[in-house]
Chain A
Amino acid sequence: MTAANVAEGLAAARAEVERVCGLLVSASPEFLDGCPGLLQRACSVIGEFRPWMSEARGDGAAFEEAHRLQSAVRQAARLLESALDYHARWNRILGAMTGGYTERGDPAPVIRQGRVYLTG
């Protein structure tokens, strides 16, 4: 395995993570469900050439590609965080709207009764 192979592998992993970023921008439950598969694939791609990575030590192209991958991973993390923040805040508002506030002044938890909800 050459340094060029390592750089290619990292680029392939980045492509998967960038697809995750694309899905996270939509942030619907269906799209979010598609992300773990892509993320696992990115992990597997890196895992495949991990044993030979030390042979590419000091290679500028591979090092730059690793940084680009890190940047993509961090962007995915921030997008996931911002979607989570959106729903967490909305969940609190829903709680306050439907259940009021607790004794400590926090919004009450949203009460979800057991029910089947079908969409079609």
Chain B
Amino acid sequence: MSNLLATLGSSAGALQAFDQVLQVTQNNVANASTPGYAKQRLSLDAQPFDLTVGATGGVRAGQIQSARDQYAEQAVRRQTTALGEAQQNAGSFTSLESLFDISGQSGIPKALNTLFQSFSAWAQSPTDTIARQTVIDRATSLANAFQQTAAALAGAKQDTEQQLQGTVDQVNALVARLQGYNSQTLRGTRNDPALDAQVNATLEQLSQYVDFTARQQADGSVTVLLNGQTPLLIADRQYQIAYRLAIPDTPTYAGRPSAQIVASDGSDVTSQTTGGQLGALLDVRNRVLPSYIGDAYQPGDLNTMAKQFAGRVNQLLTPLDNSSGTPVETGVALFTYDITNDTNVARTLAVDPSVAAGQLTAADPGPPLVSNGIPLALSAMSAATKGADQIDGGSYNQYFGKMASRIGSALNEARDQQQVRQSAVAQAKNLRQQASGVSLDAEATILIQFQRAYEANSRLITVLDQITQDAINILRP
């Protein structure tokens, strides 16, 4: 009789266990479209079976275990971080590219070409006042083009700084939300699938902004570390990051300050802040833009070009007359700029308003004296055959072209990356879906299948890449 009761008890236990399984399944179905929700599964534990000691076997419900594969979650977040970076780069470089028109129809290239044309026209009529006035007008246009480009780049810098502040605020707000979830968990709301879904959805949102690692602790709370090092969240305590501008202690140039990300203890964690939108914005603000408009360590290519061009034109317009034995400077310099700050040349480049057309000297005193020697030398700057007319080993147009192509290549790369990363995020989400609920045995088999498939595909892709490259080489115009 006791055995019968025990058997009935065992059956009832099993029924209860299966009832819980049904509840878990029902919950999974109800949450099928909840963002961040992961399928739950109930583990069933076998009970000892030994009738001699009254152990009737059967099954009982074990602890509900999340089927969420933390690894797969992390893989999705990693790809989302890379996508966030690519999207930010594509956006930033698109707005910068518009400042570097290399078609010659606008901006600095157009102004440079028309100025060179005015030098040639002046060389043909060295005494013509109109030709000299045209030179002054075209020089003014070029100075304005430099100023406008420098101002637009400074505007892009300000936009980037605002975006940096906004992104830091967004990161802090998302971590604050996670802090709230951790507090709920620590108060005892563990194994709540809705809370788990919210935590994972928030972590996924956070991953587009920064690269971080998230680890679930034994107490159920989630620890978040910026790039695996700087704490953002531990248990129910948030460590806010901040954004600031800072000038180094020993600047080489009186340039703009750098953007910094600061941890809650005041330490500079900029170098650790890579990846995601925040990493991309920092790169644009601290590396890309300074390479054009300078910072504390470099004058910037736009300033270098403006200074060298203006300096060379001024030098040619003020030749030394050695005929009397004592060198005498003749002519007048055309351009003015801030000579105290190399990072401020393009923004301050202007034509000296006191210079009148009649003051421009066309004659090169030599010896021998050449009546149109100055405009001829100015005109020859476009061909850049002399070392003194060159910048970085080429012409001024080529130098500007290099600046533009840097942005163009970066934009192409960012767009390519954006496309690939979008697919990679979709792929990671699919892999996460596949991993959910798969047993280790099944997974071991799948991994072997994958290995075989990778080898076969990789060989074919290598061959295809090679023949495509051959095709490009043959078809190249």
Q: Is B304 an interface residue (CB 8 A)?
A: no
Residues of B within 8 A of A53 (CB): 471, 474-475
Contact with A24, one of B419, B427, B474 (Cβ below 8 angstroms)? B427
Residues of A within 8 A of B450 (CB): 29, 32, 83-84, 87
Number of contacting residues on A, CB 8 A? 60
Report whether A66 and B475 are in contact in the complex, using a CB–CB cutoff of 8 Å: yes
Interface status of B424 (Cβ within 8 A of chain A): yes
* Beta-carbon nearest neighbor of A75 in chain B: B420
Query: In the bound complex, how far is the Cα of B474 from the Cα of A70, in angstroms?
Result: 14
- Say whether A27 contacts B447, CB under 8 Å: no
Interface: A101 (CB within 8 A): no
Cα(A91)–Cα(B468), bound, Å = 33
- Chief secondary structure at chain B's binding surface: helix
Query: B472: which of A39, A43, A66, A83 is its contact (CB, 8 Å)?
Result: A66
Min C-beta distance of B469 to chain A, whole Å: 7
Interface residue? B67 (CB, 8 A): no
Interface assignment of A36: CB less than 8 Å from any CB of chain B: yes
The residues of A that contact B458 with a CB separation of less than 8 Å are 80, 84
Instruction: Say if the beta carbon of B464 comes within 8 Å of chain A.
Output: yes
List the A side residues contacting B448 at CB < 8 Å: 112
A8-49 contact mask (Cβ, 8 Å, vs B): 1 or 0: 001000000100110011111100110110011011001100
Q: Is B428 part of the binding interface, using a Cβ–Cβ cutoff of 8 Å?
A: yes
Please choose the segment from B110-118, B156-164, B243-251, B437-445 that sits at the chain A interface, where 4 or more of its residues have CB less than 8 A away: B437-445
A-B contact number at CB 8 A: 149
Indicate whether B416 reaches chain A with its CB closer than 8 angstroms: yes
B456 contact set on A, CB distance < 8 A: 35-36
* A42–B462 CA distance with the chains assembled, in angstroms: 13
Select from chain A the residue with minimum beta-carbon distance to B422. Answer: A25
B55 at the interface (CB under 8 A from A): no
CB within 8 Å of B: which A64-97 residues: 66-67, 69-71, 73-80, 82-84, 86-87, 89-91, 93-94
Q: Which of B70-97 contact A (CB under 8 A)?
A: 71, 75, 79
Contact of B423 among A32, A47, A69, A75 (CB under 8 A): A75
What A residues does B471 contact at CB under 8 A? 10, 46, 50, 53, 66, 69
B416: nearest chain-A partner, CB-CB: A71
Q: Which of A63, A73, A91 is within 8 Å of B476, CB to CB?
A: A63
CA distance A114 to B449 in the complex (A): 14
Interface residues of B in 408-467 (CB under 8 A from A): 416, 419-420, 423-424, 426-428, 430-431, 434-435, 440-451, 453-454, 456-458, 460-461, 463-465, 467
Q: A59 at interface (Cβ–Cβ under 8 A)? A: yes
B447 and A91 within 8 A (CB): yes
With A and B bound together, what is the CA distance between A111 and B445 in angstroms? 11
Give the complex CA separation of A56 and B75 in angstroms. Answer: 44
B460: contacting residue among A36, A54, A70, A90, CB under 8 A: A36
Is A82 a contact partner of B79 (Cβ separation < 8 A)? yes
The docked-state distance in angstroms from the alpha carbon of A6 to that of B437 is: 48
The listed residue (B446, B457, B465) touching A36 by CB distance below 8 A is: B457
Q: How far is it, in angstroms, between the C-alpha of A53 and the C-alpha of B471 when the chains are bound? A: 7
User: What 4 pairs across the A-B complex have the smallest Cβ distances?
Assistant: A32-B453, A29-B449, A39-B460, A58-B477
